[in-house]
Amino acid sequence: MSSSVQTTAVRGRFLDIQSLVTQADQIAQNVRYIEDGVLISQNGKIIWLGTWQDAQPHLADVTEVQHYPNQLIVPGFIDTHIHYPQTEMVGAYGEQLLSWLNTYTFPTELQFKDPAYAKKIAQFFVQELLKNGTTTALVFCTVHPESVDALFEAAATIQMRLIAGKVLMDRHAPEDLCDTAECGYNESKALIEKWHGTGRALYAITPRFAPTSTPEQLEKAGQLKQEYPDVYVHTHLSENKDEIAWVKSLFPEQKGYLDVYHHYGLTGERSVFAHCVHLEDAEWQCMHETDSAIAFCPTSNLFLGSGLFPLKKTWEKQVKVGLGTDIGAGTSFSQLQTLNEAYKVQQLQGDKLSAFESLYHATLGGAKALHLEDKLGNFNVGKEADFVVLNLNATALQQLRQSNVKSLEDGLFALFTMGDDRNISATYVNGHCVYQKPH
């Protein structure tokens, strides 16, 4: 074998959802579980998955098989909404959205003008994602281009697939955190040219939310989207009732909050709107028709008292949805913790969230929300080799619970209810182990 070909083989219990579905009740029949399996990847792509028995002929050239006996291996978790500059202000007390931004968020984000500071937090942030089994994330930076460079540079060292962008914000925020419509456009354009499609980096046009951008700035954001149709749009929508009322007062000529973004050409298959807790029927319809996606952020919605997201409606209305931790209004980097809260949010509305549906949202459903289902989300051959090794028995209580499970689904549900970063044994990105839990 030539030295340029890098082959990795991993053995363990494999679990994924093999194909996209249109309804939650179709997920169970698409579950693939291999009790003793092997995944082989080459140069970051999956080239084979099957049983240990069938793997032998495929292992002829493989020098070492990394074996994780009794561990469960699933596709890497996908976080569809998170703010890396807010890492240091998680768990800030006592406010709802708008006062929380002014009291905590804006003062914290001012520090990211300093490239050294941005670099320090970016490196910490990437480590924290890996420690929690998250291998792809859609990330808010700050208004400073330096913050974007720092994040993409940190991710590039391990060839991690991140989507990120500079915040566009030209009003209703501290002067030092505002750009202008023109400057925001120019800086975003330069960053798109520099980063979009470089390695595994992808760029997102990132207006913070409608109230902090003038119509001129939103128009410029729409212009960028037209000029670079394969870049993403990432913003917030209908998180909090006061915010919705504010948007209506600022944009009286638009039919509603989503219509502001739609009017400026910011909806579409690569547009992700965080929260969407209080969408109106016409907005659900617009989300469906434009193939836009929602990032459901349960820990954040509960922490800020924003409301309960109707996850069931995404199936009814056929709207793409992924999970977001929304650090730092969200309270954990862990998608396991996020799913624990997602289940409770549905319970409070009289709905259920099964373990397999949870796995779908954290992996393949998240990939679909990010328009990356051809690259990520399960173990199909040809996809990128991002996956996470889970220890279901990380604590004494988990061990006791898992010793009594009735089925694979029961054990998975217990993991999603009780799990956190302690359950992550190893995280693989692009075929390489980039995090191993210290023993």
Domain locations in the chain as residue ranges: 7-75+378-436, 77-369
- Overall pTM > 0.95: yes
Q: What is the three-class DSSP state of 14?
A: strand
Query: In 331-373, which residue ranges form alpha helices assigned H by DSSP?
Result: 335-347, 355-362, 364-369
According to DSSP, the residues that pair with 7 across neighbouring strands are 42
pLDDT, averaged in runs of 10, over the chain (439 residues): 75 98 97 98 97 94 91 98 96 90 94 97 98 98 98 98 98 96 98 98 98 98 98 98 97 98 98 98 98 98 97 98 97 98 98 98 98 98 98 98 97 98 98 95
Which one-letter amino acid corresponds to residue 157?
A: T
Output the pLDDT for position 243. 96
Q: Which two tokens stand for residue 180?
A: 């202008």
**CATH number for domain 77-369, candidates 3.40.50.150, 3.40.710.10, 3.20.20.140, 3.30.390.50:** 3.20.20.140
According to DSSP, the residues that pair with 183 across neighbouring strands are none
Burial class (CB in 10 A: 0-12, 13-18, 19+), 395: middle
Q: Which two tokens stand for residue 127?
A: 């480590």
Output the pLDDT for position 63. 81
Output the pLDDT for position 17. 98
Output the pLDDT for position 6. 85
Other Cβ atoms closer than 10 A to 352: 10
Cα atoms in the 13 Å half-sphere on the side-chain side of 10: 30
Output the pLDDT for position 1. 38
Residues 192/166, Cβ–Cβ less than 8 Å: no
At residue 331's C-alpha, the angle toward residues 328 and 332, to 5°, is: 105
Residues 433/387, Cβ–Cβ less than 8 Å: no
7-75+378-436: which CATH architecture?
Roll (2.30)
Other Cβ atoms closer than 10 A to 104: 18
Output the pLDDT for position 2. 43
